[in-house]
Structure 1
Amino acid sequence: MRALVLALLLAAPMALAQEVHCTVPVMAPVMDWRGLGLGMRYPSSFAPVETTSDTVRFASRDGQGSAAVTAIPNGLRQGLAAVMAEARQDITGNSGGEITYSRTKGSWFVLSGFMAGRIFYRRSLVSTDGGFIGTLWVEFPRAMKPCFEAAVTTMSLSFRETGR
């Protein structure tokens, strides 16, 4: 019985993904990325498209989803709570977004919700030495949630400081 329930739960996102006609594979081989003192795993349905001194941008092959990894100097030596408060203000006050999920643990926090018809997912950390703030920002159309859930999970759970 447990196996049947688990199989049904695992199959549900795949079935929903087929209903919304995903234009990228829901499940794809996983790649490793390291840079900017950060690292993560990302599905091969995404690819790095632009790199600057503090940002790497990834885009899904169909252009519907994007991810950005940034590492900015923490010149004010802000703690995690201050960085999170600033992020909340930027999302809700400055951009008119709605936060539907938040979590804080150790040196990182997550904020997720809706902004301009898209789902966003932000995971930020303050480096061990407090010298920089690392952020992963992923977004995609609301209707394509089943298509991008696995990608967000892969990226977010693996997003870490690697050292400079």
Structure 2
Amino acid sequence: MSSHRRPFRLLVLPAASALLALAGCAPGDSEARVEPPPAPPAEVAKLCAALHGELPRTVAGLGRAATEPASDLTAAWGGSAIVLRCGIPKPPAMADPQQDGVEVNGVGWLVQRTPDGGLVFTTTSRLAYTEVRIDKEHATDAQMLVGLSAAVEKTVPTGISSY
């Protein structure tokens, strides 16, 4: 073997390692601190676990992030840019007929704006309430609910949650 190839091989390994390290810094690959909701009833937790398994890998172009603590009741994309919590208690705002709502792919969502300019969407008329919090920077992309609605439609039946 000629000696001029050895230095090349030695440079390839550090370069590959650097690329892998940079890939680990890509949006969506980070970790998000997401507090799971209080322990929901077993039937709600089962629906949330099914939803967790169907959630998309990306939302609004952001990759799925690991959540801490890990839970079938939580998910995140782009670090904590978009955070989902399934199995939350019924939000008091659901009783207010003046609240805004939207329907996306057969799933109704209560829409609330946060004080910092973000959005909170909460499913309506489903056997498990699911909340999606979106930071201010990403609150302009209405398409983000498309993939999430498809997962909810597939796994959480319509009905009124008693929780």
The two structures have a TM-score, normalised by structure 2, of 0.45
Which structure has the highest strand share of the two? 1
The two structures have a TM-score, normalised by structure 1, of 0.45
- With CA pairs under 8 Å and 6+ residues apart, which has the higher RCO, 1 or 2? 1
Larger radius of gyration: 2
